[in-house]
Structure 1
Amino acid sequence: MSVENIRLLRIRDVTARVCMSKPTIYLKIKAGDFPKPITIGPKAVAWVESEVNAWLLQRMNER
């Protein structure tokens, strides 16, 4: 994958996409059950969209 194809999601986008609250997302990250964000600035993080989508697809396949 090239850098041009990578899309980043901020926390508000992630919470909307996965229908979970910010605290729940961070609890799942701590438990190893959600993709970790990347640091994009001193006080800013973002998630790789493809990793969040893969997590959602995995959940769909587990039902």
Structure 2
Amino acid sequence: MYFIKLPAVMAKTGLGKSSIYAMMAENRFPKNIKLGPRAVAWSSQLIDEWMAERIQSSL
């Protein structure tokens, strides 16, 4: 597992920044992890799992 920053999350999921944060607020997207006072990232594993769930639910 490793951390990925917002631009990588956006590129990987195809979602925009506003959509990501709106979905996080609704508990429909993995929460970010605070790395420092002004830095956050996401777990690559949680993003992959979220994407796999979206694929399964669309079948």
**Smaller-chain TM-score range?**
over 0.9
Distance 1:35 1:58 in 2: 12
Q: CA deviation at 1:26?
A: 0.1
1:23 aligns with 2:1: no
Root mean square deviation of aligned Cα:
0.5
Structure 2 gaps of 5+ residues are none
Structure 1 gaps of 5+ residues are 1-5
Distance 1:42 1:12 in 2: 19
1:10 aligns with 2:5: yes
Q: CA deviation at 1:56?
A: 0.1
* Alignment TM-score, normalising by the size of structure 2: 0.96
* Alignment TM-score, normalising by the size of structure 1: 0.90
Find 1:40's aligned residue among 31, 35, 42: 35
Spell out structure 1 runs of 4+ moving beyond 6 A: none
The number of residue pairs the alignment matches comes to: 58
Q: Percent identity?
A: 29
